[in-house]
Chain A
Amino acid sequence: GDSVTQMEGPVTLSEEAFLTINCTYTATGYPSLFWYVQYPGEGLQLLLKATKADDKGSNKGFEATYRKETTSFHLEKGSVQVSDSAVYFCALAGGSGAQKLVFGQGTRLTINP
């Protein structure tokens, strides 16, 4: 079945550092890919998405490019802030035609001032 693998956390960085959180996937068909963010004490919010190969999703300074050849969707940000501290989830949908999201295990990010 479809699956998503994220780099293990937790990840701790200093403010203004460059961030990469790796995400790879296995899916049949042509899935859409998503990054969700969960701030402390809150539910999940969509951060960005890409629906076809070579699409780049971007939001709040974060970006990720849908790479079909490497089955990856790595999340990047050039300069992180303390307010970016959260848990980040990579997810896919539609790979097997199912109307549901398949999530990675999540990566906890802590940014120190």
Chain B
Amino acid sequence: DVKVTQSSRYLVKRTGEKVFLECVQDMDHENMFWYRQDPGLGLRLIYFSYDVKMKEKGDIPEGYSVSREKKERFSLILESASTNQTSMYLCASSLWGELTGNTIYFGEGSWLTVV
């Protein structure tokens, strides 16, 4: 089975802290994604990557950056956390070119609270 692992399930950080959310997948997928989930807004794409060192902005990239140094790992970085970044963050992966006939696989999510 495909496994997408998010290293932290629950985090509490202070305003202004730098926050790293890590995600690892074990199926050699080219595509990796970071979404945030908020009630009433569904899932919104922050960034995605289709190859090592490649990244593209999603719908809400402001306040975030990403890093993909290895194919299996995709990190989301909050350079200076703010309270409006309190949310559930979901990582996902998929094969390149398979999305229309295949699926994205999701991690269990990371609940981030910024105080």
Our pick among A4, A6, A34, A43 for the contact of B103 (Cβ within 8 Å) is A34
Within 8 A of A (CB), among B56-115: 58, 90, 92, 94, 96-97, 99-101, 103-104, 106-109
Our pick among A42, A93, A103 for the contact of B108 (Cβ within 8 Å) is A42
- CB nearest neighbor in B for A34: B103
CA of A49 to CA of B43, assembled, Å: 18
* B31 interface contact, C-beta 8 A: yes
Category for how many chain B residues contact A: 20 to 34
Residues of A contacting B92 with CB < 8 Å?
A: 44, 101
Residues of A contacting B42 with CB < 8 Å?
A: 4, 6, 89, 103-106
CA of A51 to CA of B101, assembled, Å: 6
Are the CB atoms of B94 and A43 closer together than 8 Å? no
Q: Residues 16-42 of chain B: 1 if any A CB is under 8 Å from the residue's CB, otherwise 0?
A: 000000000000000101010101111
Residues of B contacting A89 with CB < 8 Å?
A: 42-43
CA of A99 to CA of B101, assembled, Å: 11
Distance in angstroms from A97 CB to nearest chain B CB is 10
Our pick among B33, B39, B106 for the contact of A43 (Cβ within 8 Å) is B106
Residues of B contacting A51 with CB < 8 Å?
A: 100-101
Interface, chain A (partner B; CB < 8 A): 4, 6, 31-32, 34, 36, 42-46, 49, 51, 89, 91, 93-94, 99-106
